[in-house]
Structure 1
Amino acid sequence: MGPEVMLKTKQRLNRRPILGLTMGDPAGIGPEVIAKALAKPEVHRLCLPMVIGSKPVMERTVRALRLPLQVVSVQGHGPLGRRGELSVLDPLERPLGQFRMGRVAKSCGAASVACIAKAVELAQARCIDAIVTGPINKEAINKAGYDYPGHTELLAD
């Protein structure tokens, strides 16, 4: 069973909305903002959050911030929203490789777009109830070959 099937099942069984949070630019503040927010128990009482992004990036972020979270992959089984867990659906076809924080990178732009595209796919399939987008770097997505000035135009396409 793929993540999409599992998410549809969980959505029907649980009244809390499933939120797909795109990690944003891996070299930016998105992963940090998301990790800090999801470390707060009150968030999990209100919704079932799932990060759509790079598992290694989220693991590195959680470790650097010394947050009491275990990063777990959403692989089509197991519940979302367990206390102390940060659920990640990684849509990237290959590892990001090396990049420098705060620097524009083509690979980070491509990863940002891939995460948004996966979130849109899941929302259109009604596997998630809403999309929350992390900040992207417009220069990085342009370097990756995407001609969008921002989220709105990317989502509209």
Structure 2
Amino acid sequence: MSLPTIAVTMGDAAGVGPEIVVRALSSPELGGLARCVVIGDAGRLTRAAELCGVDARIKPVADPAEATGQPDVIEVLDLDVVPGDLPFGQLSEAAGEGAYQYVAKAAELAMAGRVQAICTAPLNKAALHAAGHRYPGHTELLAELCGVPEVSMMLSTGQVRVIHVTTHVGLLDAVERIEPGLVERTVRRGHRTLVDSGVAAPRIAVCGINPHAGENGLFGRGEEEDKIEPALAECRADGIDAQGPLPADTVFFRAGRGDFDLVVAMYHDQGHGPVKILGLEAGVNITVGLPVIRTSVDHGTAFDIAGTGAADAGSMLEALRQAATLATRP
């Protein structure tokens, strides 16, 4: 089987994206898994390689089909949209515009079948907004670019997988948005993703909204009974092993010891907190429901260390590995 081609977006040029990209793509651990082409800025990647002490040649290409996957060569589709003197670690409209254009180009290539997966370095939401692109983040941006009305965010580590019913909204808004149809669709997307990745009969734990999953009506206003239980009944009727609603304060421990293959979190921090305790270098973000494969790091632009060469590329490397694995499955 020929190697898949992965479009790697450079992220916010003022953040750690360029550094983690050059570190990951120059790692021998990636060898033989995929051909990667960076959608970004050749000059910025060259600067990042110097900062990180990476001995790799930055090679512009005109098309992803030219990517060879040679060791010690980082191939880049150079959009040349950020100024050469752009400072690291500072919010920049120019960097936000560049981050948008990298993702838009990657989505265009993936939708046309010219790359088999997208792997994204982090962008900065404030910079994206400053450039006039009003999206909460990558997930929502990619959904619009790919023409999909609804997607889900899944975080994957070596110990747990988590899919979210709601993500980038305030807590009060999240509780308002949660309803049986959305919960059911999220569970089904998670189930299908695990089946497609080789888990024949996924065991799915579904978190409650309130402490102790409502404690049989003692906490909250009946959200578990009204918003979650009807959805789980529909899923179980189709043979999906969806257990819950379960207390979120214990379910991640149970998932970590192997009781479940997937946890369904109701809102952003309910799912992100446990995953990030396990280590930012371990987490990978997968967008579920797109017509293309997309993985990403599970951390931000880290302006405080950008430009120092100190950024850890572990999450980026794992995101590339998972993109390559997903792209080679039938």
Q: TM class, shorter-chain normalised? A: 0.7 to 0.9
> Which segments of 5 or more consecutive residues in structure 2 lack a partner in the other structure?
145-330
Partner of 2:98: 111
The aligned amino acid for 1:103 is: Q
Partner of 2:76: 88
Query: Matched residues in 1 for 2:85 and 2:45: separation?
Result: 14
Give the 5 Å matches for 1:66-85. Answer: 66-76=53-63, 78-85=66-73
The aligned amino acid for 2:114 is: C
Query: Matched residues in 2 for 1:67 and 1:40: separation?
Result: 10
Post-superposition Cα deviations, 1:107-146, rounded to whole Å, max 9, x if no partner, equal: 0000000000000010011010000011000000100011
Equivalent of 1:126 in 107, 113, 117: 113
Question: Is contact 1:22-1:115 (8 Å) kept?
Answer: yes
- Give how far 1:64 is off: 1.6
Equivalent of 2:130 in 140, 143, 150: 143
Query: Matched residues in 1 for 2:90 and 2:130: separation?
Result: 12
- Give how far 1:42 is off: 2.7
Distance verdict in 2 for CA 1:136–1:95, change over 3 Å: closer
Secondary structure of the 2:119 match is: strand
Q: How many residues align?
A: 143
Give the 5 Å matches for 1:38-53. Answer: 38-53=25-40
**Identity among equivalent pairs (%):** 36
Q: Which moved more, 1:114-123 or 1:60-69?
A: 60-69
Runs of 4+ in 1 over 4 A off after TM superposition: 76-79
The aligned amino acid for 1:140 is: A
Post-superposition Cα deviations, 1:9-65, rounded to whole Å, max 9, x if no partner, equal: xxxxx7111111100000001111111111112313111111110110001101121
Query: Matched residues in 1 for 2:31 and 2:42: separation?
Result: 19
Partner of 1:17: 4
Normalising by the residue count of structure 1, what TM-score does the alignment of the two structures yield? 0.85
Distance verdict in 2 for CA 1:78–1:129, change over 3 Å: closer
Query: Matched residues in 2 for 1:109 and 1:79: separation?
Result: 26
Q: Which moved more, 1:42-51 or 1:95-104?
A: 95-104
The aligned amino acid for 2:35 is: L
Partner of 2:271: none
Secondary structure of the 1:89 match is: strand
Query: Matched residues in 1 for 2:41 and 2:35: separation?
Result: 18
Secondary structure of the 1:71 match is: strand
Query: Matched residues in 2 for 1:127 and 1:91: separation?
Result: 17
**Aligned Cα RMSD in Å?**
1.5
Normalising by the residue count of structure 2, what TM-score does the alignment of the two structures yield? 0.42
1:37 correspondence with 2:24: yes
Query: Matched residues in 2 for 1:91 and 1:100: separation?
Result: 18
Question: Is contact 1:96-1:111 (8 Å) kept?
Answer: no
Q: Which moved more, 1:74-83 or 1:107-116?
A: 74-83
Partner of 1:59: 46
Secondary structure of the 1:45 match is: coil
